[in-house]
Structure 1
Amino acid sequence: MTSSRVIIVYAALGTIPGMKANTIQTVRMCEGLASNNCSVYLLIPARFRGWRFINDYKSIKKFYGLRRGFTIIPSLTPWIWTRIKKLNNYLHLIAALIHSINTILLINILRMLTRKTPYIYVRIPLLLTMLHILRPLHNSKIIYEVHNLPYEIQSQGKLKKFFLRALKNTFLLLCISRYLAEEVKRLVGEPRRIITLHDAFPNTLFNKMDADPLKTRQRVGLPLDKYIVAYVGSLQSWKKPEFLIDAASHLDSEDILLLIVGGSPEDLERVKQYAQLRNIKNIEFKGFVEPHMTPDYMFAADLLVHYTPSKDQLLKSYSPIKIFEYMAAGKPILAPRQPWIEEVLRDGETALLFDENDPRDLAEKIKRIKQDKELAAKIARNAKQESQNYTYEKRAEKLIQIIHALNSKGKF
C-alpha cells in the first residue's frame, strides 16, 4: 500500500443489497472510490438466512453488477423494524450506536495495520451524530454526504443540537446539488469545507448495453410496436408517481405505452389501484428489478421521464440518480422544471422540462418529443455526451483531489 493511497471506511446502515436508491448510491460510490486507487471498506449490518451470511461481496456484486472490487465488512448490528414508530426510533438509535462502535473498532484495526488513519464516510445523519460524540475514540476525519438537509435535521429529534454541532465540525461536507450546498452554507457558515458533487451513473453498466433496442425489448418482454415512455425508480408516496398516471390520462394515442419499472410491492399495488381508478389502459408495470438490469429497460424505451414534486413538502430529491442514468442511456428525457434539475439538464438541449404541477404539460411534452424526431435525437445525443461528466469514477476522483488539497494546503 503506497503512502498516497487514501483509506476510506464507508459506514452504512440499511439493507444491502436492497431496493432503496440510497443503497445503490452507497455501493456505486464505493466502487468509484476503489477505481481511484482507494482502499475502501464498506461496513454494513450483516444479514443472515438461517446460519448463512447472505450479503457477502459475491451476492452484492451480482445484485448491483459491480466491476471494481472493494472490501465488505459485515457488522453484527441489530437491524430490526416493527410496526411501532416510537419503538423503531429507539431501535434505530441502538443500531446506530452499535454500528458506530463497530466502525471505530475497524478504524483502529486499520490504523494499526497500515499506520495510517482512515477517513470515515457516512450519509446517515444519526451515524454522523454518534461518530461525532464518540470522536475521542477514533480521531478520524469524517466525510458526510448531505442529501436533504431540512429532513436530516428534523429526523434527529432530541439529538438535533448534536447533529448540528457534528455538521459544523465535519472534515468535509458533500452536497449533491449547488442548491443544497447553499442551504448548508447558510447553516454551517464555512464554505471551504462544503463542496458540490452531483450524483452519477455506473459507466461500466451502461457501456454493456445492447446496441439494438428491439432486441433488448424482446429480452425483457416489452412490446415491439409501442412508443414506450418509461419511468424507472421507486414509487414512494412522497414522490407522487400518480402524477405520471394523470399525465397518461391525457394521451389519446393508443401506440403510446407508459412503462413503470420499480417500486416495493406495497407501493406498486397503490399505484396500480390508482391507474385502475383512472381507467388507464396504456400502462405496464414491471415492479422492482435488480439494479444491474435497469439499464436494459432504459435502453428499450423511446422516452424517459422523471418526476418528484418540490412544493410544500419536507422530502425532496435534490439530485436524482435516475437523471444521470437517463442521460447515459442516450434517450430523450422529460423532467420537472426545478432549480436542482436545471443545474444538470438544459431545457431544449439535454431535456425538455415541464411544469411539475401540470400533468397536461407533461402529456404535451411527450407528444412533442414523439412527433419531433429531430428534437428527440438532439436531446438524446447531447445528454449522452454530457453524461460522461457524471460517472462515479469522476465523482470519486474529484473527492480524492479535494481531500489531498485540503490535507496539503488547507484549501481547494
Structure 2
Amino acid sequence: MADARNGTRPHVVHLSNLHHWDDVRVFQRECCTLSQHGFRVTLIAKSSTARTESNVEIVPAPPLRGRVHRILFGIPRALSAAWKQRADFYHLHDPELVLLAPILRLRGARVIFDAHEDLPVQVLHKHYLTTATRRLASLLAKALCWTASRSCDHIIAATSTIAEQFPSKKTTIVHNYPKLMDKVDDATPYQERSHSIVYVGGISTSRGIREMLSALEFLPEPWHLTLAGPVNPPTLLDELQEFPGWTRVDFHGRVTPDEARKLVAQARIGFVTLHPTPAYVDALPTKLFEYMAAGIPAVVSDFPLWRDIVESLDCGILVDPNDTSAIAEAAKALIEDPARAEQMGQNGRRAIAGEINWSREKEKLLNVYQSALSKDDSMQA
C-alpha cells in the first residue's frame, strides 16, 4: 500500500452511482478533506465531464434510469471503473455497492462503506412500493448492512442511529456538520437583508413543499420564498406552479453549493419542515446547520433529535410539519419580532463556530484512514 511518508500518496477512490459529484458530504466534506491531508483522491460519481476540482479527480458516471438500472447496470459499471483505478482505499456511498467489497479487497485495498441513511427502516416508508414489496426491500436492506459489516474494513455512519446497524468496533460516526469556511461573512447586516424565507435542497412532497407554499399565503407582503433545488419528480413542478403562493416564489432550480450559500446569506428565515419519515426523523438536519452558519433562524420540524438542537441553542421555532397554520404562525412570529429572529440567528452561528462544525468531524474521518495505514505498516514491519 502507498505510504505518504515514502513519497507516494495513498490513493482513495470515492464511488457512487447515486450522488452528484458536488454532493456536500461526499465531495465538499470527505473528498476535499482527504485531498488536503496528503491523499490522492478520485471521485467516481454523476458528472457531465471529467475534470479536476480542488485537487480531486472527477471521473464521470453517467446517470442511470431508475432503481432497476442502478442494480443491473450500475453495479458492474462501478466495478469496472473502480477496478481500473488500482486504489489503496475504496470508499463506497451507495448501499448496493457493498457487494463489490470482496472483489475490491482481492487487490489488497481497504474498503470503507459510508452509511448515509438507516436503510432498513427507510424503505419501509417508501409509499410507491406495495406493503409486501416494502417488507422484502427492508429484508434486502438488512442483508446489505450485514454484508457491509462483514465484507468492509470499516463503516462510517452519519448518525448514531445509523451506526446501530453495524458492529461498534468497526464503525465510526462522522456527522455531516458544516465546514467553518461555510460560514457566511456578515457583510450584509441581518436587518438589511431581503424579506426572504429560504429553502435549499431537494424539493418534494415529503420535504414539505406543499405546506411551505400554503403557509406563504398567510404571510405579509413583501415576504417571499426563495426556493432552490431539484424537483422530484419533475412533474411536481407543474402542480406547485398552480398554488396561489407561487407568485411569491423566487425559484432557482438546482444550484451549486456556493450559489446555495449566497441565497441563504441573503435570507432572514429558513424552512426545515420535512415530513416525519425515518429518512428525516433520525438524520441530522444539514439544512438547519446551513441556516445556522448564515446566521438566520429556522422554522423546524419537531422531531426529537432536531428538538434537542433547536431548544438547547435557541436557534429556531419547532412546528408540526404537517400543520400549515403552525408553519405560518412560526414564520409570522419571526417576522414580527426581528430582534428575536436576529438573536436566534446569532445563537446558531456561535454554535457552528464552536462545536457543530466539520473541523472536529474531519479528524474522525482522517483517523479511520490513518489507522488503516498504521496497521499496514505494522504488518509490513
TM-score bin, normalised by smaller chain: 0.7 to 0.9
Q: Give 1:166 deviation, angstroms.
A: 2.4
Of the candidates 162, 169, 172, which is equivalent to residue 192 of structure 1?
169
331, 334, 339: which one aligns with 1:374: 339
C-alpha spacing 1:366/1:214, structure 2 compared with 1 (3 Å): closer
Relative to the length of structure 2, the TM-score reads: 0.79
1:396 to 359, 362, 365: 362
Tell me the SS of whatever aligns to 1:198: coil
- Name the SS for the 1:376 alignment partner: helix
User: Partner residue of 1:32?
Assistant: 33
- Matched to 1:26, the amino acid is V
Q: Tell me, yes or no, if structure 1 residue 349 matches structure 2 residue 314.
A: yes
After superposition, the Cα gap between the structure-2 partners of 1:359 and 1:196, relative to the gap in structure 1 and judged at 3 Å, is farther
Alpha-carbon separation, structure 1, partners of 2:27 and 2:70: 24
Alignment-derived partner of residue 12 in structure 2: 8
**TM superposition shift of 1:386:** 1.4
Q: Which residue number in structure 2 is paired with residue 51 of structure 1?
A: none
Q: Alignment partner for residue 337 of structure 1, among 293, 299, 302?
A: 302
Q: Aligned-pair distance for 1:17?
A: 4.5
Which letter does structure 1 place at the counterpart of 2:115? V
Q: Does structure 1 retain, via aligned residues, the 8 Å contact 2:17–2:45?
A: yes
3-state DSSP class of the match of 2:108? coil
Q: TM-score, normalised by structure 1?
A: 0.74
The 2-side partners of 1:407 and 1:244 are apart by 48
1:135 & 1:262 partners in 2: Cα distance?
35
Residue segments in structure 2 that go unaligned for 5+ positions in a row: 125-135, 376-381
Alpha-carbon displacement from aligned partner over 1:273-331 (angstroms, at most 9, x marks no partner): 335344554333222222221111111101111121124x6676723432221111111
- Where does residue 128 of structure 2 map in the other structure? none
| Contact persistence 1:350–1:379 (CA under 8 A) | yes
Q: Which residue of 1 aligns with 2:96?
A: 126
Partner of 2:208: 240
Q: Aligned-pair distance for 1:384? A: 0.8
CA 392–248 in structure 1, closer or farther in 2 if over 3 Å, else same: same
Q: Deviations over 1:30-60 (max 9, x none)?
A: 112223333322234674xxxxxx2312xxx
RMSD across aligned positions (CA)? 3.5
Change over 3 Å in CA distance of 1:136–1:31 after alignment to 2: closer
1:229, 1:301 within 8 Å by CA — same for their partners in 2?
Answer: yes
Residue 366 and residue 44 in structure 1: after superposition, are their counterparts in 2 closer, same or farther (change >3 A)? closer
Aligned to 1:114: none
Pairing of 1:61-210 with structure 2 (within 5 A): 61=53, 69-72=54-57, 74=59, 79=62, 81-82=64-65, 89-90=68-69, 92-107=71-86, 110=87, 118-132=88-102, 134-148=103-117, 149-150=119-120, 151=122, 161=143, 164-182=146-164, 184=165, 188=166, 190-207=167-184, 209=185
Alpha-carbon contact 2:182-2:293 (below 8 Å) kept: no
Q: Aligned to 1:13, what secondary structure does the other structure show?
A: strand
> Could you say which residue in structure 1 is the equivalent of 2:256?
290
- Measured in 2, the distance between the counterparts of 1:7 and 1:344 equals 37
| Alignment: residue pair count | 357
Contact 1:142-1:170 at 8 Å conserved across structures: yes
Higher alpha-carbon deviation: 362-371 or 166-175: 166-175
Q: Structure with the greater relative contact order (CA < 8 A, sep ≥ 6): 1 or 2?
A: 1
What is the CA deviation profile of residues 357-383 of structure 1, one whole-angstrom value per residue up to 9, with x for unaligned ones?
322222111111222233222221121
- Identity of aligned pairs, percent? 18
In 2, the alpha carbon distance for the partners of 1:6 and 1:152 equals 36
Q: Is the 8 A contact 1:242 1:274 kept in 2?
A: yes
Specify every segment of 5 or more residues in structure 1 that has no aligned partner in the other structure, as ranges.
Answer: 48-53, 62-68, 111-117, 218-223
Provide the rounded CA distance (Å) in 2 between the counterparts of 1:332 and 1:279.
Answer: 22
Q: What is the DSSP-based 3-state SS (H/G/I as helix, E as strand, rest coil) of the residue aligned with 1:12?
A: strand
Q: Which residue of 2 aligns with 1:212?
A: 188
